[in-house]
């Protein structure tokens, strides 16, 4: 019985210690939002701290607006907001505008080798 409990305890500890880090982070914006809120900024900084030596890419979708030009401009402003955070962390990132992606989303992920 003691042996079984010890074995289960070891397996539990091993499972907690060997959890893989997420390789992507998805953030959602409201259509009119152009800057990062505090929670989004914290999540990006945490993701950058977990992947400091990896090639990262940020894919930003357009805003869900009726005017396509305004949607494009919202996406560009969001890219600038993410770029400001990555520059402050001294982590290079490849920024992409992704018009085919779900509207009002930003996906930050490790670039495939």
What pLDDT, in 10s, does the model give residues 72-101? 888 889 889 988 998 888 888 888 888 899
Question: How far is residue 102's CA from residue 106's CA, in Å, rounded to a whole number?
Answer: 9
How many domains is the chain built from?
A: 1
Asked if residue 74 belongs to a domain, the reply is: yes
Q: Per-residue pLDDT averaged across 16-26, rounded?
A: 68
% of residues, the chain, pLDDT over 70: 81
Asked if residue 9 belongs to a domain, the reply is: no
CATH code for the domain of 106: 3.30.1330.60
- Tally Cβ neighbours within 10 Å of residue 83: 13
pLDDT value, residue 99: 87
Has this prediction a pTM greater than 0.85? no
Q: What share of the chain is helix, strand, coil (3-state, %, to 5)?
A: 45, 20, 35
Per-residue confidence at 13, pLDDT binned at 50, 70, 90?
A: low
Asked if residue 90 belongs to a domain, the reply is: yes
Helices 38-50 + 68-88 axis angle, to 10: 50
Asked if residue 95 belongs to a domain, the reply is: yes
**What is the rounded average pLDDT for all residues in the chain?**
83
- Give the structural domain span for 57: 20-110
What pLDDT, in 10s, does the model give residues 32-49? 898 999 999 999 999 988
Asked if residue 80 belongs to a domain, the reply is: yes
Asked if residue 39 belongs to a domain, the reply is: yes
């Amino acid at each position: 019985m003691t042996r079984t409990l010890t074995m289960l305890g070891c397996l539990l500890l091993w499972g907690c210690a060997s959890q893989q880090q997420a390789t992507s982070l998805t953030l959602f914006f409201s259509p009119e939002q152009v800057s990062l809120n505090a929670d989004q900024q914290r999540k990006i900084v945490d993701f950058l701290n977990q992947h400091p030596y990896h090639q990262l890419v940020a894919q930003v979708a357009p805003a869900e607006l009726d005017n396509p030009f305004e949607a494009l401009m919202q996406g560009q402003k969001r890219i600038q907001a993410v770029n400001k955070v990555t520059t402050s962390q001294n982590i290079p990132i490849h920024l992409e505008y992704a018009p085919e992606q779900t509207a009002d989303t930003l996906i930050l992920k490790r670039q495939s080798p």
